[in-house]
Amino acid sequence: MSMDTFRLDDKVVLVTGSTKGIGYGIALALARAGADVVINSRNQEDCDRVASEVRNLGRRSLGIAADLTKLDAINKMVEAALQYFGRIDVLINNAGTAITRKAEDITEQDWDRVLNIDLKAVFFCSQAVGRFMIQRRKGKIINMASVLGLVGERQVLPYCVAKGGVIQLTRALALEWARYNIQVNALCPGYVITPMNEADLSQEKIYNHIVGKIPVRRLAKVEDLVGGAIFLASDASNYMTGQVLVIDGGWTAE
């Protein structure tokens, strides 16, 4: 097998939640691997900034602000990307959020916020892009799951539920769309320091609690995930679907 199968030359990739954290790092890595990238977050200025960075790497890019909790906004985002690029080869459902709170204190608003972004939006973004991929009989969808979709953890119950749902969504959707040559897989990282969790991870007690569960005894860096993302987005993974690629420093091996 040629190493060229890992290249993403001229593939159009939509990465949700790609102006910071994991999504930002993956978007730039994809561009370096040859992809044109659609950038998304809620803030248009942030989208434009990252799209400019992608263009500085020699690739085409478009920034589209969209609130992924709203189905109409999802559809408009996909329509704008298709109008600009003509196709979407790869969708990476990365946008997510979490709330740290005891189970007995979780409100309906807390529950809806996490599940709407971390699970509901994953399906409806996949549906909006998938309808186009079905017509082309080709495409790849990569869902950002989490080690906490495989194991439980205290005080992040809605997040665990949502990420477990993402893993099952991945498997079920892969079965439905295999006949259309659409591969649906999940990337399942352990804890990565991002703007979403850096305040919690800066607390020594929380940091030691988490690192104590990881055999390699460190948190992940965004750079630890980009190889998996490139593999799942490339032709090298054409015979892989419905799978969960776990990158967790050995956490779930014990």
pLDDT tens per residue, range 159-212:
999 999 999 999 999 999 999 999 999 999 999 988 777 777 888 888 898 899
d(CA 16, CA 41): 7
pLDDT for res 207:
87
Residue 68 contacts residue 74 (beta carbons within 8 Å): yes
**How is the chain split into domains, by residue range?**
3-191+221-247
Report, as an integer, the average pLDDT of 229-248. Answer: 98
CA-based radius of gyration for the chain: 17
How far, CA to CA in Å, does 212 sit from each of 20, 33, 145, 203?
27, 34, 21, 14
d(CA 93, CA 231): 15
pLDDT at 217 over 70: yes
Two tokens at 12? 């159009």
Fold of 3-191+221-247: Rossmann fold (3.40.50)
Please report, rounded to a whole number, the percentage of residues in the chain having pLDDT higher than 70: 99
pLDDT for res 244:
98
d(CA 44, CA 209): 37
d(CA 174, CA 181): 10
pLDDT tens per residue, range 74-105:
999 999 999 999 999 999 999 999 999 999 99
**pLDDT band at residue 126 using 50, 70 and 90 as cut-offs:** very high
pLDDT for res 194:
81
Q: Is 109 helix (H, G, I), strand (E, B) or coil?
A: helix
Report, as an integer, the average pLDDT of 117-138. Answer: 98
Phi, psi of 100 (to 5 degrees): -100, 110
How far, CA to CA in Å, does 169 sit from each of 91, 172, 183?
15, 5, 13
Q: Is 250 helix (H, G, I), strand (E, B) or coil?
A: coil
pLDDT for res 193:
82
pLDDT for res 2:
62
For the chain, the distance separating the N- and C-terminal CA atoms, rounded to the nearest angstrom, is 33
Which residues are known to be catalytic? 159
pLDDT at 36 over 90: yes
pLDDT at 1 over 60: no
Two tokens at 106? 């979780």
CB contact set of 160 (below 8 Å; sequence gap of 6+): 148, 149, 152, 153
Give the single-character DSSP code of 228.
H
Phi, psi of 89 (to 5 degrees): -85, -35
Query: Residue by residue, what is the 3-state secondary structure of 157-182?
Result: HHHHHHHHHHHHHHHHHHHHHHHHCE
pLDDT for res 242:
98
